Amino acid sequence: MITPEVARRIRLIGLDVDGVLTDGGIYLGSVGDAPHEFKRYDIQDGLGITFLRRAGLRVVIVTGRVSESVRLRARELGIEDVAQDPSADKLPAFLNMLDRCGVDPADAAFIGDDFPDMAVMRIVGLPVAVGNAVTEIRAAASLRLERNGGAGAVREFAELLLKARGEWKTVTEAYVAERSRAQPPAPTSHGKGRGGGGEGRART
């Protein structure tokens, strides 16, 4: 559980990628002579991140691998602050993000799963472990999630945090309301025979 007092202090949420936004597996291959790395992301996690951002919270990514898929996923989700460090030295990058955003470590959360996340988790106000985190990370966490990385853990966190802040219903209802407006009627093609060009068909 997250107390309302702790939840309302949080202004920034840091996310690891492998083992948190994904299940930790990677697909390595090549196309021609170019190496490629692929990851699987969870759609419900993505919507959870959208809800966090709609509540005015800053979401950042700090990962110990360099992958084009991370950049693409971050862009999809509107996450501007992304640090990919092949040495997995995450603390300096995270501290730089906090400094740029004007956020104290005590007002930040970080979700991790393994030893590269430990240094960051030790300084934040709300260290969080996913269900598949190693024993030491779970011991260091104030919040231990039930769901595994890449399987809804970030969504679980988003729901817990926003409910503790009293914002879950407001954020989700606003999201649903935006998608409940009646669509304008499709334009008709007067004077044309049936099937004339298809301009009047509703777009999807």
Can you tell me the distance from the alpha carbon of 144 to that of 141, in angstroms, rounded to the nearest whole number?
Answer: 6
Mean pLDDT to the nearest integer, 50-76 = 95
Mean pLDDT to the nearest integer, 66-77 = 93
Mean pLDDT to the nearest integer, 18-36 = 88
pLDDT tens for 91-140 read: 999 999 999 999 999 999 999 999 999 999 999 999 999 999 999 999 99
Residue 91 neighbours by CB distance under 10 Å: 17
Predicted pLDDT at 5: 97
Mean pLDDT to the nearest integer, 63-73 = 92
- Cross-strand pairs, 14: 60, 110
Can you tell me the distance from the alpha carbon of 152 to that of 21, in angstroms, rounded to the nearest whole number?
Answer: 8
| Burial of 98 from C-beta contacts in 10 A (0-12 / 13-18 / 19+) | buried
Q: What is the pTM of this model?
A: 0.85
| Helix, coil or strand: residue 39 | coil
Predicted pLDDT at 195: 43
Mean pLDDT to the nearest integer, 182-202 = 53
Q: Identify which has the larger pLDDT, 158 or 199.
A: 158
Can you tell me the distance from the alpha carbon of 15 to that of 48, in angstroms, rounded to the nearest whole number?
Answer: 12
Q: Identify which has the larger pLDDT, 108 or 183.
A: 108
